[in-house]
Amino acid sequence: MIESLQRVCPGARVSVLAFDELAAHALAALDLAGVAVICLEDFENDALRKARAERSRVEYLWTCTAPLLLHMLEKEGQKECTYLDADLYFYASPEILFEEAGAASVILTGHRYTPCYDRSVLFGRYCVQFMTFRDEPESLRALRWWRDRCLEWCGYQARDGRFGDQKYLDEFPARFEGVHELRHSGAGVAPWNVQQFALFEKDGALHGRVKKSGEEFPLVFYHFHGVNFYSDHWVDLCGYRLDRDTINLLYRPYIRILADYRDRLARHGVDAWGVVRRPLTWRTPHRAALVALRLFRGGFNVRRVGPLIRGD
């Protein structure tokens, strides 16, 4: 994500919150320009330490989103900060998104679910993937409200109209002024909405076309949600339907890049593959049964890593 952003937006500065020593070591090994690492002990306060002791790892990661943004604006003195999920990949500069948002103090991206995948009632209208907050009173008020809600509850299971840190965002437009939901079709293309678009190469860049309206747009970023490696040889791309062009234009190059990072980190003694690789019994046996069923039906999005990288 970082290198893709810096390629399309030279000079971009990125701060990364390292939740463990392995993450900090991996970032130091890669030695990426313009990247600052925030260590957990320098970031946590008593409320966050209490939450970490009581919550699962993923719930604690979500709990830290709003506090991290507040840390950047209030303690690091940034005038504007954009939160980015680590599994985004940029294909064009996000500057066009900031131009669209204008003077808005908060920028959100919607899920834009394909109807058959619409889970907005459970998981929210907005996706915590690309969010901008500015050092302005209304933006800070929104962040503090969001932080307080997440400290109260940030569960992994959707419950009582809440889900993690994400479902709270549904309340932003009504509660706070200056909230802008991005309209650009190339922002937030993801496995749950890519079925609505036809992807293609044009002038050496990736573009999309909205199937219903025919509107063309440059692809700004794609959210590679749900990529799971089950061994050195098998990868599950996601649990959504992907057409051949999507796999060839997006997923093949992305898996190739991940494999390259694996090799780069291995040369520094970092077994990144061992961290992201998940056994087929991950979380529950139902996951293994699902993957086995999809393999039996012809693979769906479960692919062998080698042929996917080579383009066989």
CB atoms within 10 A of CB 64: 22
How far, in Å, CA of 180 to CA of 173, rounded? 8
pLDDT at 146: 98
Is the pLDDT score of 140 beyond 90?
yes
Is the pLDDT score of 30 beyond 70?
yes
How far, in Å, CA of 171 to CA of 169, rounded? 5
Contact 71, 83 (CB under 8 A): no
Q: Which of 117, 99, 141, 120 is nearest to 226 (CA)?
A: 117
Is the pLDDT score of 307 beyond 90?
no
How far, in Å, CA of 158 to CA of 165, rounded? 11
Side-chain half-sphere CA neighbours of 40 within 13 A: 14
pLDDT at 301: 83
Is the pLDDT score of 74 beyond 90?
yes
Is the pLDDT score of 306 beyond 90?
no
- 287 — pLDDT class (breaks 50, 70, 90): low
Q: Which of 69, 121, 84 is nearest to 221 (CA)?
A: 84
Is the pLDDT score of 299 beyond 50?
no
pLDDT at 284: 47
Is the pLDDT score of 137 beyond 50?
yes
Q: How does pLDDT run across 214-227, given as a tens digit for each residue?
A: 999 999 999 999 99
Q: CATH for 2-187?
A: 3.90.550
| Mean pLDDT score, 87-99 | 97
- 263 — pLDDT class (breaks 50, 70, 90): confident
Q: Which of 96, 187, 172 is nearest to 133 (CA)?
A: 172
Average pLDDT across the chain, whole number: 91
Looking at per-residue pLDDT, the higher value among 263 and 201 belongs to 201
- 297 — pLDDT class (breaks 50, 70, 90): very low
For the entire predicted model, the pTM comes to: 0.92
Task: Give the largest CA-CA distance in the chain.
Answer: 55
| φ, ψ at 195 (rounded to 5°) | -65, -20
SS3 per-residue string spanning the chain = CHHHHHHHCCCCCEEEEECCHHHHHHHHHHCCCCEEEEEHHHHCCHHHHHHHHHCCHHHHHHHCHHHHHHHHHHHCCCCEEEEECCCEEECCCCHHHHHHHCCCCEEEEECCCCHHHCCHHHHCCEEEEEEEEECCHHHHHHHHHHHHHHHHCCCCCCECCECCCCHHHHHHHHHCCCEEECCCCCEEECCCCHHHEEEEEECCEEEEEECCCCCEEECCEEECCCCEECCCCEEECCCCCCCHHHHHHHHHHHHHHHHHHHHHHHCCCCCHHHHHECCCCCCCHHHHHHHHHHHHCCCCCEEEHHHHHHCC
Which position has the token pair 């390629």?
Answer: 7
**Domain ranges for the chain:** 2-187, 226-312
